[in-house]
Each structure stands twice: as structure tokens, then as C-alpha cells.
Amino acid sequence: MSSSVITESVIAPACKKEDLLLDSTLRPRQLKEYIGQQKIKESLEIIMEAAKNRGESLEHMLFHGPAGLGKTTLAHILSYEMQANIKVTSGPILERTGDLASLLTNLNDGDILFIDEIHRLNRTVEEALYPAMEDFRLDIVVGKGPSAQVLELNLPRFTLIGATTRIGLLTNPLRSRFGGLFRLNLYSPAEIQTIVNRSAKILNLTIEPNGACAIAGCSRRNPRIANRLLKRVRDFAQVKGDGIINEKMAKKAFSMLEIDNSGLEKIDRDILKVIVEKFGGGPIGVQTLAAAIGEEEDTLVDVYEPYLMELGLIARTPRGRVVTANGYQHLGLKHIAKKI
Ligand code: ADP
């Protein structure tokens, strides 16, 4: 095993392909296998039952919340439960109205179109979606200049499922066209433990309850991170132990990965340190902060910030991010309150 494999970030790993494979292997197929998010599941059950009774397709739905909480999984579950086909795409991939048209015209009644990162759709494609969502109609401009014509295409009664980590970036016209908006919340440690045990069973691993508990404790209450940690601890237990996943193995693996007891990685601690050391504890604008830590703004906002805020280590103020008293304490530093 190379050391780069073991020290690579668990929260935002570079290897997307391996991640996708792990996600799809461990993805629950039915609603009853989907752990937690009780309120959402209850609503979806009612929506599906009602649509089935009326013999109609599902209404358009939007799932929002941090990455890895199960938005894509829910879209696949809906397609499975409704016995509908699902086509998967994402906001940045749909560059032209023609891309959208070719997807939509190949759907059948009741099919699902899943658009991940829907907040990244460009304006033209987004505007073409409005009549598609509302009236199942697509207006396509054919030709250029004075001879250009608008072609009206009738579409099947499809269901659009959108997913976004940044609900605030969605325009009002788009948001208002969804029949159901669902916010996914971070999971409880007990729910994550159940997810870890389920994943261990699928991957045929031996895991002790204290091992599942240790992994859950460092998972940032996020199923995708929990599954990744499980895989790292499995590798570690295979190489350094007898293959059994327990608390001792988990702790050793986490110390090698530089993950602390709160589940924070080195990069999280670096974010806190940079705000404190370079910007006097803040407030600091998100763009400047992203540049200072050498990360994309989106990664900072979508991946790192939600959990740092959840733990109360940083806070958002109108003038930017600040490290809180708890954040200073986490770094072992004394907090001197200042007026902002
Ligand atoms: P998102 O689309 O929100 O980024 P995904 O739906 O891709 O997240 O989920 C990431 C991984 O976490 C999937 O492999 C899935 O197995 C697991 N997962 C997410 N939510 C749950 C859940 N409620 N129960 C079990 N596993 C889950």
C-alpha cells in the first residue's frame, strides 16, 4: 500500500472514479433500506402512493444539503420504487439547450431526469427548463437571424429531480417550479453507525460495535465520509492487523490520516489556523479564504465549511467568516473577543 493512498484526504479525495464505484456499491435501492431522514421518507412515501393512485408521474422535486448526504441515492430510490427509468446528468454538463432537448425527448411518461448540481445550470438551459417543467413543452430556436424559427416540442410527462448543495444560488423561478423541496440534514451518530454496519455487511467485512462507533464519531455525520473511512480502516486492519475492524484499528488509522477526535482533517485545522494567523480570527471573505488555503471556493463552501459551522468552530457574519471561541479552543489558543 502506498503512503499516498493512506494520507489522501477522506473528506474530498482526488480519486473520483473509486468513489463513484463505492457509492454505487453501497447505495440503498429501496426506501426501507435508506437510513434516517425520517420526515423526508414519510413525505416521499405519501407522494409516491398518491401519484400511483392517480396513475400520474411524480411531481418535480428538489433535494438540497451538503454533499454525501444521500440526494442522488433518493433519486435512484424514487426511480426504483416507481419502476421508472432514470437519466442522470448534472448542471455543468448541460451546456446547450440542444443537450437538454436530446435528453428530454428521449424520456417516456413517468421517467425521471436527475440533474445534480442544478445550481450550476447556465441561464439559457435553465430558462428552457421552465416550460418543460410546467407545461411539458420545449421551445427550440432553429436557424439564425431573421429566418430563425421557434419549434415547439411536446414532451413526455417526466419528473425532474434536482439536487444542489447551494440552494441559495438557485433562482426563484427555478425553485418555485419544484412541487417538493427537501432539505437533507446531517445524520445522528447512531444512524451513521447503522450505515457503517450495513456497508460492512455488503463489503463482507468483520466489524466490532466499537469499530463502527469510532468510525461514526469521525464521519462528520455524513454517510459518504463514513463509508470512505470504513474502507480506509479496512485497508489498515488488513495490513496492520487481522482484518477485523475495531476501535483500536480505527484510532490508529485515523491518527495516520491526521483525523482528530471530532473528525476534522488537517485541512480543516489549516482553515481555522489561516483565519486566526493571517486574518486575526476574521471576518474574512470566502474568496480570500479559499485563495489563502489553495482550495476552490465551491469546495470550501460545500465540503469543509458545513461541518466546521455545525461544530460551532467558525461562524458566518455579514462581513465574512470568523473563528469562534470554540474554534480557538480547538486549536489550543486563547480567544480574545473583538468587536466586529
Ligand atoms: P449526495 O448525492 O447527497 O452527494 P449520495 O446519494 O451519492 O450523496 O450518497 C453518498 C453515499 O452515501 C452513497 O453511496 C450511499 O450509499 C450512502 N448513503 C447516503 N445516504 C444514505 C442513507 N440514508 N442510508 C444509507 N446509505 C446512505
pLDDT attached to residue 2: 40
Q: Is residue 21 part of a domain?
A: no
Portion of the chain with pLDDT greater than 90, in percent: 83
Q: Report the distance separating Cα 313 and Cα 311, nearest Å.
A: 6
- What mean pLDDT do residues 218-233 have? 95
Residue 12 pLDDT exceeds 80: no
pLDDT attached to residue 76: 97
Most confident of 8-22, 135-149, 216-230: 216-230
Residue 212 pLDDT exceeds 90: yes
Of the residues 183, 202, 219, the one at which a domain ends: 183
- What mean pLDDT do residues 94-104 have? 93
Same domain, 178 and 198: no
Which of 73, 79, 114 for mutating ligand 1's site (highest number of atoms within 8 Å of CB)? 73
Identity of the residue numbered 285 = G
- Ligand 1 pocket, Cβ-based, cut-off 6 angstroms: 23, 26-28, 34-37, 67-73, 163, 195, 223-224, 227
- Per the structure, the complete domain to which residue 127 belongs is given by 37-183
- What mean pLDDT do residues 71-92 have? 97
- Domain CATH number, residue 321: 1.10.10.10
Q: What is the number of the ligand 1 atom nearest to the C-alpha of 26?
A: 16
pLDDT attached to residue 3: 40
Residue nearest to atom 20 of ligand 1 (CA): 70
Spacing, Cα 46 to ligand 1 middle (Å):
22
Residue 24's H or E segment, with its range, is: helix 16-26
Higher pLDDT, 187 or 25: 187
Same domain, 54 and 191: no
Residue 4 pLDDT exceeds 70: no
Same domain, 72 and 208: no
Whole-number average pLDDT of the chain: 92
Same domain, 216 and 311: no
Spacing, Cα 45 to ligand 1 middle (Å):
18
pLDDT attached to residue 6: 42
Q: Is residue 133 part of a domain?
A: yes
In terms of pTM, does the model score above 0.95? no
pLDDT attached to residue 17: 66
Of the residues 234, 257, 280, the one at which a domain ends: 257
Sign of CA dihedral 42, 45, 48, 54: negative
Same domain, 175 and 192: no
* Sheet (strand 159-164) strand order: 86-90, 112-116, 159-164, 61-64, 180-183
Read off the pLDDT of residues 22-71 as tens digits, 9 standing for 90 and up: 888 899 999 999 999 999 999 999 999 999 999 999 999 999 999 999 99
Residue 291 pLDDT exceeds 70: yes
- Report the number of distinct structural domains present in the chain: 3
* Catalytic annotation, residues: 71-72, 116, 165, 224
pLDDT attached to residue 263: 92
Of the residues 200, 231, 257, the one at which a domain ends: 257
